[in-house]
Amino acid sequence: MSPGAGTALLAAAAAAALLTDRLWAVGAITAVLLVVCLRAPAQRRWPYLIGALTSGLGVLLLSPLLWSSGSGTLLWEGPTIPVVGVLDVSTDEIRIGAVNGLRLAAVGLAFAAYALLLDHDRLVSGARFARRSALAVALATRLVPTLERDAAGLSEAVRGRGVELSGARGYATLLSPLVAGSLERASCLAEAMEARGFGRPGATRMPRAPWTVMDKVAVALAAALVGVAAWLR
């Protein structure tokens, strides 16, 4: 499948998850996206999966406590917290929390599938307009594994000096050097791109492969998915 069609399908899945408020539908979309993500190599997929699934789980767990729907069966009532109000959990809040959590997980997984499985180069070269923006998105997508590698290198460098990092506070000390390092890397890349003529008028593109039947089916499916999700609201 061409990356353009793949992107359309993933974007449609994410949009459908946001459009529909039926738990089973959002759950099904999330499950399918999870299966798709599991096709990526294990070493690369875990940060994306952890990010997407923990965010979804966080919403699922916190949302019923912090938000009151005023309907459904009240299952538990806790203390009153300043600013937040009364902590309570009802069946309706759990259902809505589950929908929102799954929505967030679905959007995260759609991005994960985009980052892990699609050929961003072909997506960039296939862009008929805003090629610079498409390239920026492709480079930003590749930032995740680079940051992961840099973080591992930093942690190793620190441990190599006999300093053990522990807890969130310990690892938080690496955040600033990580950002500084990635900015430095970005500057080097920008210099290399300039030296290779990026931004010069009159750019051409390598010939692209024509769309296959599968690509056309995928785009049709993407449109149908969004339509059905809107209808199911």
Residues forming the site for other proteins (CB under 8 A): 42-43, 119-122, 124-125, 135, 138-139, 142, 145, 150, 153-154, 156-163, 173-174, 176-177, 180-181, 184-185, 188-200, 202-207
Helix (H, G, I), strand (E, B) or coil at 118: coil
75 CB-near residues (< 8 Å, 6+ apart): 89, 90, 91, 94
Contact 60, 97 (CB under 8 A): yes
Contact 226, 110 (CB under 8 A): no
For residues 92 and 148, which CB has a smaller minimum distance to other proteins in the complex?
148
CA–CA distance, 4 with 118 (Å, rounded to integer): 9
Residue 6 Cβ vs other proteins, minimum distance, rounded to whole Å:
14
Residue 29 Cβ vs other proteins, minimum distance, rounded to whole Å:
27
Structure tokens given for 191: 């210099």
90: β partners: 74
For residues 81 and 152, which CB has a smaller minimum distance to other proteins in the complex?
152
Inter-axis angle of helices 131-160 and 175-195, nearest 10 = 140
Residue 1 Cβ vs other proteins, minimum distance, rounded to whole Å:
16
For residues 99 and 138, which CB has a smaller minimum distance to other proteins in the complex?
138
CA nearest 154: which of 191, 119, 180?
A: 180
For residues 180 and 230, which CB has a smaller minimum distance to other proteins in the complex?
180
For residues 67 and 171, which CB has a smaller minimum distance to other proteins in the complex?
171
Residue 222 Cβ vs other proteins, minimum distance, rounded to whole Å:
23
Residue 189 Cβ vs other proteins, minimum distance, rounded to whole Å:
6
Alpha carbon 31 to chain centroid, angstroms: 15
- Residue type, position 39, single letter: R
Residue 63 Cβ vs other proteins, minimum distance, rounded to whole Å:
37
80: β partners: 86
For residues 38 and 193, which CB has a smaller minimum distance to other proteins in the complex?
193
